[in-house]
Amino acid sequence: MAEAGETLTAELLERLVALGVRQIRVEVHGEPRTVRIAEYRLPQGERELLRISRVALVRKSWLAAASFERTTKVLADAALRGEEDHLDSLKACLMVGKKIPVGTGFPREESVESTAKTN
């Protein structure tokens, strides 16, 4: 299988998975640990290197993309396609003054009844 001191590679992990191994013993910063192979597996998919100017433009939020570069082009393209921005990104929420999606309990929304009781 693997020899002591061997570096974990994608090929080695695939071999171990094919053999049905779920956990391995590794040394992390000099300490031996038992870890699940799933923690060390590389994500599947294609990799694409983008310049920072392109990263902002490939986001779902056209409002966040418009704040970075090519503002008129991004806004015009979004308008022509009839796109909606659901304001899920941190940047878009900050731009329009909406609560930002961070912290515990953010997905839970206050009910209308509890708001009415406080008034």
Residue with tokens 């990263």: 55
Its CATH architecture, for the domain 52-96, is Orthogonal Bundle (1.10)
- Which residues are paired to 25 by β-bridges? 34
Give CATH 1.10.150.390 domain extents, the chain.
Answer: 52-96
Residue with tokens 């590794």: 26
The pLDDT score that the predictor gives to residue 19 is 84
* pLDDT tens digits for range 45-104: 666 665 655 555 566 787 877 877 778 888 898 899 998 888 877 778 888 888 877 776
Contact 99, 88 (CB under 8 A): no
pLDDT reading at 18 higher than 60: yes
What residue type is 53 in one-letter code? S
Instruction: Report the predicted TM-score, pTM, of the whole model to 2 decimal places.
Output: 0.38
Contact 74, 65 (CB under 8 A): yes
Mean local confidence (pLDDT), 7-14:
78
